[in-house]
Amino acid sequence: MTIAVLASRVAYGAALLVSPEKVAGKRWLGPDARRPAAQVPLRGLGAREVALHGAALAGFLRGSPIRPFLAASIAGDLGDIGATAFAREGLPDGSAPATAAVAGGSLLLTALVAALSGE
């Protein structure tokens, strides 16, 4: 389960790096995701996901502690939810609840991995 959660988050980050407008366009930012100015922070988010969860995955495979990475991941998810809620008036209809559901689900899965990690 740990490998699946971490690898899926690396894949999500990689998709944001490669094609932010496709990943964030429909349910999150709408047409604004095609704007270069919006793609800068989206790619930054993608880089965070790849680096943080890639490092956690490498640590897990080596048998190293991963809870600090998981805690940082949870903090990032909370930040994503908060930032989206703060800007909800300027986002497409339904975007804030959909983002809260996706980021909240990621947060819960990561918290479950942390709880089961036994460190």
Burial status of residue 113 (CB atoms within 10 A of its CB: 0-12, 13-18, 19 or more): buried
In 10 A of CB 66, how many CB atoms? Answer: 24
CA distance 38 to 20: 9
Orientation angle between helical segments 2-18 and 95-116, nearest 10 degrees: 140
Both tokens of 71, joined, read 């805690």
> In this predicted model, what pLDDT tens digit does every residue of 2-38 receive, in sequence order?
999 999 999 999 999 999 999 988 778 888 889 999 9
CA distance 59 to 77: 20
* pLDDT score at 117: 82
Residue 119 pLDDT > 70: no
